[in-house]
Structure 1
């Protein structure tokens, strides 16, 4: 039997409150994300995909660390971090935001949660936003406290996730709207529950506020989900690429700006409030971008797994970009990818070549997301 101690690089990599439970439920391998272990293998990744889109999966995403911002100036400080206008954000609401640096580069694309008038969580992807926020606060002149609280989220995702939540919390949970949060308890376990998730499916995130109760919470959810076919799982590369969802450090990094990604809607350059990168983003908007993110359908044999290097994209022998995330979609029966290409070639229908490990393969630029572009599934 696999033991939790069989995995490890030393004490410098943290284990989540659910680590032992995931090993007990069949986690075979982990990767490191935000200085923590995250389960990446519960068996066949295609079966994990089908479990997600047909039933429900429970994922340990405690690696989504929370950067907590509190204090009298919390709202003003949080606005300074992002180009998205937060002036109408209500208590109990979540928003997808970008965090930019002075050059307009993206440092992260987290979910922002507003727990109270002056209480925010930034639920981050893979980057040290805690250090960034603390550094910005030092010379901001604002009265804020920036820390990482004892909070560890789980993702319950899939079409039957609502049934599982109803079994756990009763009928009132069905009133929770998309991108809203609620403070709750489950048999005394303190939680924040939100209608969010990194899957493009109907889903919930349960933010555990007491790391000592992780094993207990995991088992309660799995027991409640058993009649609905719940399975332990991991975030699905197949589904998130189908949905056009970014993976920070892969599809975007510090040298990527929002306009290259077509995320103009997350940038409000006309609001009165100032934010880091405002002047740079104005220049980028006015001057235009030299590259753009696109979707690709790649011909040839089905990919055996996601790419682990950036594959060059060429046209007439010239390199015009790179594939950032690629995978085979068993539902679409296509190799699909997110890519960054020269703006001159970012046209739907353009045919390019991808320099894959086995040799060049033809690909066509297509719209993204590849599936459910209006996100009707997640918002249902």
Structure 2
């Protein structure tokens, strides 16, 4: 496992100049500054106590990427239990008399099929069908919804739409911040924290709990495709340290380990990363047949982008996100700085046709895998392309995605 970590990160596809400008010194490993202008998660100082080795910025907030050993963190997720600081998942609350109809307008899924106490993974779409965000939606009350955001300013988007449309809703960011407890032993930790009733919470449902006087919402969700939970803490700026300590103490007997987002596992699962695999320039029909169920074009209600997505459905798409197996030496873990930019995809004659948006070396599969957006004519299983990586051109073949657990049964266990 250490071979991947010990492999030097190659130069980027578009390398830095060989010589620095006059009077400067070439910096091969630039840092991201920690300072006052960027936000900190309510769990920032607690997660930092465990030795965060790399941060990125997500929702204008510092986010731990890993703690020095991404491959070790991968195996901890698969075999044990892990604790994640995901306070960057800012919670946008939509409440009020028009909350249901307004929220139903934001997303292509029919929220008539979302009960109180249920969660849904949703796209938020723009008028042209582009993806504004892909949050987890939590229906915490009849007329109160939380959007647990990916990396874009949906609060401003929803606030503007509510004002312009005269909707009787309140849109605000609430002082609620989640932690993720993920991995096969996560149930053991959660039982120690909340009792046996936690095992009755179904996949993608939520329940209110109190722990040491702190009010929380617990959901059977997570960004791992493994068994896991998220604990959403009320009054997070005040109580984050207490909750972290409580989870840590409960987890010690089970070997809990703090980790960052495990991109190797999410790529294996074909899970999308906003800003990498999807964006405003991507529509839901293009991101893979396994996501088509997230767009309900036959529902009675209108949603933003419905007409555009109907046209896309009727006219067909010109490109599709596929899974690739990529030849050559291990690419890295994705969250270690080994993939600074997308990798161009070429035909055999060198014509550029697409890009690999996320790629890594899978320790379990013992091969490089990635998600790539390619023209429809290159999307069939077995199609071959060439990928331009920092270390040179590599052959690649289109394979089924998700790469592991294609029916996604593991997290439901």
- With the shorter chain as reference, the TM-score category is over 0.9
- Could you tell me the TM-score, scaled by structure 1's length? 0.97
Deviation, 1:376, is 1.2
| 1:7 CA drift (Å) | 8.2
Corresponding position of 1:127: 152
By how many angstroms is 1:268 displaced?
1.1
Aligned partners of 1:135 and 1:238: how far apart in 2?
Answer: 36
Residue 279 of structure 1 aligns with which residue? 307
Residue 148, structure 1, aligned to residue 173, structure 2: yes
- CA distance in structure 1 between the partners assigned to 2:211 and 2:305 by the alignment: 42
The 3 A distance-change label for structure 1 pair 8 and 311 is closer
In the alignment, the residues of structure 2 paired with residue 367 and residue 182 of structure 1 have an alpha-carbon distance, to the nearest angstrom, of 35
Aligned length: 375
Q: C-alpha separation between the residues in 1 aligned to 2:107 and 2:332?
A: 38
**Structure 1: segments with no counterpart, 5+ residues:** 1-5
Of 357, 362, 366, the residue aligned with 2:399 is: 366
Partner Cα separation in structure 2 for residue 342 and residue 137 of structure 1: 37
Distance in 1, matches of 2:345 and 2:113, equals 41
Q: Secondary structure at the match of 1:40?
A: strand
- Distance between the aligned counterparts of 1:108 and 1:225, measured in 2? 32
The residue that corresponds to 1:313 in the other structure is 345
The corresponding residue for 1:337 is 370
CA deviations on 1:103-128 (whole Å, 9 max, x unpaired) are 00001111100011100001110000
* Partner of residue 242 from structure 1, selected from 258, 268, 291: 268
State which of 222, 238, 248 in structure 1 corresponds to 2:248. 222
2:318 matched residue in structure 1: 290
Alignment of 1:4-83 (within 5 A): 8-83=33-108
Pairwise CA RMSD: 1.2
Q: Could you report, residue by residue, the CA deviation over 1:283-330 in whole angstroms, capped at 9, with x for unpaired residues? A: 111111110000000011111342221111111221111000000010
In the alignment, the residues of structure 2 paired with residue 231 and residue 239 of structure 1 have an alpha-carbon distance, to the nearest angstrom, of 16
Q: SS at the partner of 2:48? A: helix
1:260 lines up with 2:292 in the alignment: no
1:8 Cα offset (Å): 4.7
Question: Aligned equivalents of 2:258 and 2:287: distance in 1?
Answer: 32
- Structure 1 residue 348 displacement after superposition: 0.3
Contact 1:30–1:40 under 8 Å retained in 2: yes
Contact 2:263–2:333 (Cα < 8 Å) also in 1:
no
Deviations 1:221-247 (A, max 9, x none): 111111111111111010000011000
Structure 2 CA distance for aligned equivalents of residues 162 and 305 of structure 1: 27
Contact 1:303 1:335 (8 Å CA) reproduced:
yes
Q: Which runs of 5+ in 2 are unaligned?
A: 1-30
Find the residue that maps to 1:248 and give its secondary structure: coil
Cα distance in 2, alignment partners of residues 195 and 242 from structure 1: 20
1:356 aligns with 2:381: no
Q: 1: CA distance between counterparts of 2:190 and 2:254? A: 11
Within 2, Cα distance between the matches of 1:304 and 1:103? 35
In the TM superposition, what is the alpha-carbon distance from 1:343 to its structure 2 partner? Answer: 0.7
Q: CA deviation at 1:359?
A: 1.3
Aligned equivalents of 1:133 and 1:157: distance in 2? 30
Q: Does the 8 A contact of 1:72 with 1:118 survive in 2?
A: yes
Aligned match of 1:186: 211
